[in-house]
Amino acid sequence: MFIEDVMKRFFQNLFAGVCLILGTASSFAADRSIAVSLGEIPNRAEMGPDGKPWGTYVEIFRRLDDVYEGVSFKIGVFPFARSFNNIASGQADIHFPMGPATANSKLHFVPEPLLELPLVLYSRIEAPLRPGGDWSGKLVEAIGGGQLKEFGIEIGTEDNPRSGLIKVSLGRIDGFIGEQSVVDRALRGADLSNIHREYLKSIPLGVGVQNNETGRELATELVDLIKTLKDTPHNREFLDSIFPPYDDWQMY
């Protein structure tokens, strides 16, 4: 009887130990976090007065967080160059936003875009740049400029839309490329009447991860997650509301 009691207590303790280990493993899985590095864009991703990230891009990842059970997205906002470097240096798991043309040996584009970004070209009335024209020798900047590879010239970076427009107005650069809503707000605020605006093109806008085995495994997870987000009606409505169709108007 004594031996039976000892053996019974042994197996009870063994079972409790196994449960504790499994419970700890489950806790680790539930606590898994993914570091998100957002390129800073006014009203899209910036730090609020309370020191916390806010904007529509921040809201996208909060909604992804809600959809992705057992994972927490830790969101930070950085200048674009630093945000890209956060991926290359392993300080972040995800960079957003980026287009597929930005992919390189260190950065992999997740092949399920979140948004379709309409780009608008801003230039001077007296020296307008034209989509599809010859931009050789022209100085053009953009928000997150280095990631735009489609135009045959190197695009400089100017992450402040107002500063970019003023440089165009003063003739310091020939053109500025940006998202319609954000740059139009800056254009109206600066009241620059010598700026011509024209629809340029739309590009897929999505997520970048490290271009290695770990990053590509994460990319596979994110493809399914993004599809799930898009398939949820209220989230689909939110995504569709971010970029309105091109509005053809001028300041002059």
* pLDDT over 80 (residue 238): yes
**Residue 107 and residue 99: Cα distance in Å, rounded?**
11
0.85 surpassed by pTM:
no
pLDDT for 145-184, tens place per residue? 766 766 778 899 998 999 999 999 999 999 999 999 999 9
**Residue 42 and residue 16: Cα distance in Å, rounded?**
53
Non-local CB neighbours of 174 within 8 Å, separated by 6+ positions: 123, 124, 127, 129, 135, 138, 139, 140, 168
Residue 158, burial from CB neighbour count under 10 angstroms (0-12, 13-18, 19+): buried
* pLDDT over 70 (residue 10): no
Domains defined for the chain, CATH in brackets: 29-114+205-242 (3.40.190.10), 116-203 (3.40.190.10)
pLDDT for 18-37, tens place per residue? 443 444 333 334 468 999 99
Instruction: Phi first, then psi: give them for residue 168, nearest 5 degrees.
Output: -65, -50
DSSP-derived secondary structure letter, 154: P
Please report, in angstroms and rounded to a whole number, the separation of the first and last CA atoms in the chain: 99
* pLDDT over 80 (residue 128): yes
